[in-house]
Every structure is written in C-alpha cells, then in structure tokens.
Chain A
C-alpha cells in the first residue's frame, strides 16, 4: 500500500510551528475578556487551580514522577499565607511570599525522602507524607481546625493598590498565573528540562550518561512544590480563606484529575483541565455526593479510553508536536 504523505503547504507548517504562541495568545485574550462575561471570583479561583495543575504537571508530565501528595504544598502555603496576612498583618505580596517559601521548604524535605524510592513507591510516599502534614494541620492551633482561617484581609499591594477592588485583584492573579505559567514553560525548554525528559524516558541511561539524576529530580520536585505553593498562597488571599480541604488527600486527587483530563505532559492541558473540572464542580454542586462518583468515573474513563487528555488529543488531531 502506498504511504500517504500529508502535503503540508509552507504556510500550514509555519502555522504549526507557531501553534504554541497562538495558543498562548488565545489563552491570554480569553482571560482578559472572560471577567466581563462571568464571575471574576470564579475565574481567579480557576487560575489558581490552573497554576497548581501546571506545577503538578511539571513532575508527572516531564519527569514521570507521580506525586499523590501535592495538597501538602498547596494547603500549607495557603495556611501560611492566610495566617501571616491575618495574624501578623503582612501585606499581600509578603504573605504570598511566606506561603510560597513554606511550600518550598516542605517540598525540599518531602522530595528528598520521596526520591529515595522509584515508581509506585514514590506515589505512596508522597501521599503518606501529605497525610502526615494533614494531621499536623488538624492538631495545630494556628490553622483553626475545622473552621480554618477565615476573613483573611486582602490588604494593599505594595501599599497603594487596594485588593478589595475586584479588578485590581483580578489583574494581580492574572499576572501571577501568567508568570508561573511562563516560568514552567521556560523550565521545560531549558537544558535542565531536557535532562528531566531524559530521566522520564530512561533514568538508567541518563545515569550512565553521567547525570546525577537524584539532584535533577529533587530540584524539579522543589520547583513543582514551590509553584504549587504560589498557587495555594494566592488562593488564600483571593478567597480570603484557608481550610483543611486544601491540605486533605482529595485535593491531591483533584489536581491529578485536572491534569489527566487536560493532558499529562502537555503545556496547556492542565489549564484546560482545571477550568473543565471547576466548571463541572460548580454545575454539579446540587448533586451532592454524586460529584465524587462522577469524578471517579472520569478518572476511570480517562485512564481507559482517553489517556492523551483534551489538549493531547487536540494536538494529535492537528498533528502539532507540542501544545
């Protein structure tokens, strides 16, 4: 049988090479227009979760490490950000920084332990460590137990931008999200990112080439935890709330689901996945516990039938190498 070669016109192939930029432009445009069409608070929350999912994807998608405990970094950053803003009266920028730094430290400790084992054990260790920190959050006084930390003041950014103003808050969240997103893009496309991908494909070979893979994995883990923390810390200021939901294991499962739905190892997948899952949660909220069943069913369906995810599938259809 004759092999069918797709005759690409020159303009089509340049279009494909540019697809990343075009997609990025569409995303930015959509995020600028969207607050005029739907609830800004929802969009801000969705952007925080999108950044969280992108941070998680950095590990699973580009190093092949499944962390089942990313709620630890998201949740503890959220707590520290909320607490420092409310109890210490820190301005929002410093509060977010405090939360993010907390996540980085947690990531360094948990990562150093978890990378001592591979594959399936790695997932179990990250889950167990996250559960341990969940119990600490339950027992610690400052987290407010079941009530969480409520009514966190948004304060004034750099002393003069009042974040009580929804528009100002929206722009701040958009900037944080885009900065995080671009940083992850930069990491993936750096020489460091290439080594990470080599570890994902074949760790033994990467070691034989002289790479100290443990160090690369640890740094990737810390970066992922820190960015997850940035998302959590920002979320605490936006929603003015930090609670046990943020540190508990279903949150870790949710970020896995978002990334899986959007597409593991794709650049835009986690963003799309986060929006899809959050919209679904809002729409299905009246169904109560059925949401859990539906989320479980989506997990099963994605793993069995739809492993590329939305963006992965789209890129495959359009024959774009990376999206």
Chain B
C-alpha cells in the first residue's frame, strides 16, 4: 500500500473501480438509448424502469424459482426483450408520426407504471442479491483489493458494448439497420420489413437495459427506484456524448463513471453532481456534444 496525493492507494483505486463499474452501467444504458433513438426517434424514459425490471426479474427468479445468476443472465434479457416488443407493438408504434415529445411523455408514463407496481408489491426498501458462488472473493493486487465480481462486471460489459458496436457498425444486419435509420422508405422499397426491424430494435434495447440490471443486482440492492435514480444521470451522459455514435456513447459512459469515482475521492460533496456540471460545461464549449453528429 502507498499514498497518492495523501490518499491511500487502496481508497483511490477502490473508488476508481466503483467509478468504472458505474461507468459500465452508464455505457450499457446510454448505448441502448442511442440504439432506440436511432431507429424509433424516441427517447426511452422507460429505460431505467426496464433496467430495474431486469434486476427484479433476476431477484424473483432466484428466490421463487431457484434460477441462478448465470441462467438469469440469459433468461432475463429475453423476457424483458419480449416485454419491450409488446410495449412497442401495443403503444409506441402509434407515435412515430407525431412530435418526438410524445414518445418521451408516453415512456415517462410507462416508467411510472412499472415503478409504481413494484413499489406496491415490494415496498421502497432495497433487497440484496447474492453474488454467484464462482465470483465470490477477490484478488489482492498489492495496491488494492479487487473483488472478482466487480472485475467480471467491467469485463463483461466491455464485451457486450464491443459486440453491440460490432453488430451495428460491422455486419450486414447493422448496415441495413443504419440504412433504415437514415431513410426508412427507401430501405422498405428494397423489400426489408422495416416495422419489424423497429420492433426488434426496441426489444434489443430493452434486453440491453435488463442485462445491465442483472449485472447490477449483486452490486447495488435491488429496489424499485434504482431505475429512476440512474436514468437521469444517463440522460446527462447522452447529452455529453451525443447519440450519433455508438463508440462515443460507450466511451462517454465509462469516462464519466471514472470521473465520478475520482470526485468521490477528492471532493466527495460533488460526486452526485459532477456529471451534471460536466454536462453544463460541454454545452457551453461544444453544444453538439463530444461525439455528436447532428443537433
């Protein structure tokens, strides 16, 4: 153990790790928001609620069906993805011709409904979710203690983010998707079923949020308001990064998580607000956002 700027290395790197983990969730969520916004032109206010739904589904599966973490990692995104598809078919598809604002208002209503339901049945208090057997304990790296589960979260979310980027930017499916974002009418004329693509995109975005929720469950307590706590920060992340670029969204997410972690070490009072302050500065200096292509 040694000291940096009078702060013990364990504390500094510990907070850096927490920042990196928060950053993973910011990245996963803002990635989903960006993908959905690209196809549907809707800012999905329910994204936080879907993240919470993911965490809660994992919790319920473990306690009532005995389904462990690893299976939850597979099942939960599929279940929530289907919920997303249903939401898109039932509600969102009627809004595409209207002003963007109605999409925001409707998904805000959805978020209230989902959060309210869970508050009714489970109360406002958080519930713990066990870390899976395989990932308990940690490594002593000398300058810090690295819990295995946290290392896994950072690693796995980086893999998911990279795969999504690869899927959208480097495969033919992604090329069609991007084309449909640019000009849906033309893509439709090529015989591609664009409405189905939009539907699946929302389902995919919902599944990403749910996956983040499952990963978050053992770290934060599972609680009904965990979604609304994080979604506003993610909005600020999206404003800072701009939604034009997938990689931009991911980098901004991880970067802001780390900055937030460092703020916790050096200036703890500001740790809640630092992301918003950075947003204000970015708006002054580069109004289109760091990676923004369009306003």
Task: Tell me the A residues contacting B by CB distance below 8 Å.
Answer: 60, 66, 68, 113-114, 116-121, 123-125, 127-129, 131-132, 135-136, 138-139, 249, 253, 256, 260, 288-300, 302-304, 307
B104 with A123: CB separation less than 8 A: yes
Tell me whether A129 and B120 are in contact in the complex, defined as CB-CB below 8 angstroms, given that A113-B284, A293-B113, A299-B112 are known contacts. no
Question: Once the chains bind, are A116 and B105 in contact (CB under 8 Å)?
Answer: no
Given A293-B116, A296-B111, A296-B116, decide whether A131 and B276 contact each other with a Cβ distance below 8 A: yes
7 more CB-based (< 8 A) A-B contacts, given A131-B236, A131-B276, A132-B276: A120-B43, A128-B232, A129-B276, A289-B119, A293-B117, A296-B114, A298-B109
Chain B residues 250-283 with CB under 8 Å of chain A are 269, 272-273, 275-277, 279-280, 283
A206 to B279, CA, bound (A): 28
**Which B residues touch A118, using CB under 8 A?**
295
Q: Which residues of A contact B173 (CB under 8 A)?
A: none
By secondary structure, the A interface counts as helix
- Given contacts A120-B101, A135-B273, A249-B228, whether A125 and B283 have CB atoms under 8 Å apart is yes
Query: By CB atoms of chain A within 10 A, which of B94, B115, B280 has the most?
Result: B280
Complex formed: what's the CA distance from A234 to B282 in Å? 35
Given the known interface contacts A124-B236, A292-B112, A292-B119, the answer about A303 and B276 at a Cβ–Cβ threshold of 8 Å is no
A256 surroundings in chain B (CB, below 8 A):
105, 108
Q: Which residue of A lies closest to B43 (CB)?
A: A120
Contact assessment for B287 and A253 in the assembled complex, using a CB-CB cutoff below 8 Å:
no
Q: Which of A123, A135, A139, A290 contacts B116 (CB 8 A)?
A: A290
- Determine if B43 and A293 form an interchain contact, defined as CB atoms under 8 angstroms apart: no
Contact between A303 and B232 (Cβ–Cβ < 8 Å)?
no
One of A288, A293, A304 near B94 (C-beta < 8 A): A304
Contacts A300-B106, A307-B102 given: A128-B113 contact, CB under 8 Å?
A: no
The answer to whether A303 touches B106, judged by C-beta atoms less than 8 angstroms apart, is: yes
1/0 contact string of B17-51 vs chain A (CB within 8 Å)? 00000000000000000000100000100000000
Once bound together, how far apart are the Cα atoms of A304 and B109, in whole Å? Answer: 11
**Which of A125, A129, A295, A300 has the most B CB atoms < 10 Å from its CB?**
A300
Interface residues of B in 84-101 (CB under 8 A from A): 91, 94-95, 98, 100-101
Contact (Cβ within 8 A) B110 A300: yes
Name B57-99 residues within 8 Å CB distance of A: 91, 94-95, 98
In the complex, whether B239 has a CB less than 8 A from a CB of chain A is yes
| A residues near B104, Cβ cutoff 8 Å | 66, 68, 120, 123
B101 with A123: CB separation less than 8 A: yes
Task: List residues of chain B with CB within 8 A of the CB of A135.
Answer: 272-273, 276
Give Cα distance in the complex from A295 to B110, angstroms. Answer: 10
With contact pairs A123-B43, A128-B235, A129-B280 given, residues A116 and B116 touching in the complex (Cβ less than 8 Å): no
Considering the complex, which residues of chain B in the window 219-252 have a beta carbon less than 8 Å from any beta carbon of chain A? 228, 232-233, 235-236, 238-239
Most buried by A among B94, B116, B277: B116
B239 touches A125 (CB 8 A): yes
- A135-B111 Cα distance, complex, nearest whole Å: 22
Q: Within the complex, which residue of B91, B112, B116 is in contact with A304, where a contact is CB–CB below 8 Å?
A: B91
- Interchain nearest-CB distance for B263 vs A (Å): 12
Question: Contact check: which of B94, B272, B280 meets A113 at CB < 8 Å?
Answer: B280
The answer to whether B101 touches A66 (Cβ under 8 A) is yes
B residues near A66, Cβ cutoff 8 Å: 101, 104-105
A303 to B113, CA, bound (A): 14
* Contacting pair B105 A303 (CB below 8 A): yes
A296-B109 CB under 8 A given contacts A119-B100, A289-B120: yes
A125: chain B residues within 8 A (beta carbon)? 239, 279, 283
A residues in contact with B119, CB < 8 Å: 289, 292
With a CB–CB cut-off of 8 A, which chain A residues contact B100?
119-120
B residues less than 8 Å from A293 (CB atoms) = 112-113, 116-117, 120
CA A124 to CA B279, docked complex, whole Å: 11
Whether B109 lies near A303 (C-beta < 8 A) is yes
C-alpha gap A117/B242 in the complex (Å): 11
26 residue pairs bridging A and B, Cβ less than 8 Å apart: A66-B105, A68-B104, A114-B283, A116-B284, A117-B239, A120-B37, A123-B43, A123-B101, A128-B232, A128-B239, A129-B279, A129-B280, A131-B232, A131-B233, A132-B273, A132-B276, A256-B105, A290-B120, A292-B119, A293-B120, A294-B116, A299-B110, A300-B106, A300-B109, A303-B102, A307-B98
Roughly how many angstroms separate A307 CA and B111 CA in the complex, as a whole number?
19
Interface contact A300-B91, CB-CB below 8 Å: yes
Q: Are B109 and A117 in contact (CB under 8 A)?
A: no
Task: Tell whether, in the assembled complex, residue A124 and residue B112 are in contact, meaning their CB atoms are under 8 Å apart.
Answer: no
Note all chain B residues with C-beta closer than 8 A to A119: 100-101
Query: Nearest Cβ distance between residue B84 and chain A, in whole angstroms?
Result: 15
Rounded to whole angstroms, the CA-CA distance of A159 and B110 in the bound complex is 49
Within the assembled complex, what's the spacing in Å between the Cα atoms of A296 and B45?
Answer: 12
Q: Check if B109 sits within 8 Å of A297, measured CB to CB.
A: yes
Nearest 9 pairs of A and B residues by beta carbon = A299-B109, A296-B112, A292-B116, A132-B276, A296-B113, A293-B116, A128-B236, A116-B287, A124-B235
Q: Which of B100, B104, B279, B287 has the most CB of A within 10 A?
A: B104
Considering only CB atoms, which chain B residue lies closest to A256 in the complex? B105
**Nearest Cβ on chain A to B278's Cβ, whole angstroms:** 10
**Smallest beta-carbon distance A93→chain B, Å:** 33
Among A66, A138, A256, A303, the most chain B Cβ lie within 10 Å of the Cβ of: A303
CB pair A299 B108 closer than 8 Å? yes
Q: Roughly how many angstroms separate A114 CA and B284 CA in the complex, as a whole number?
A: 10
Shortest CB-to-CB span from B10 to chain A, Å, is 26
Chain B residues positioned under 8 Å from A116 (CB to CB): 283-284, 287
Q: Which residue of B lies closest to A129 (CB)?
A: B276
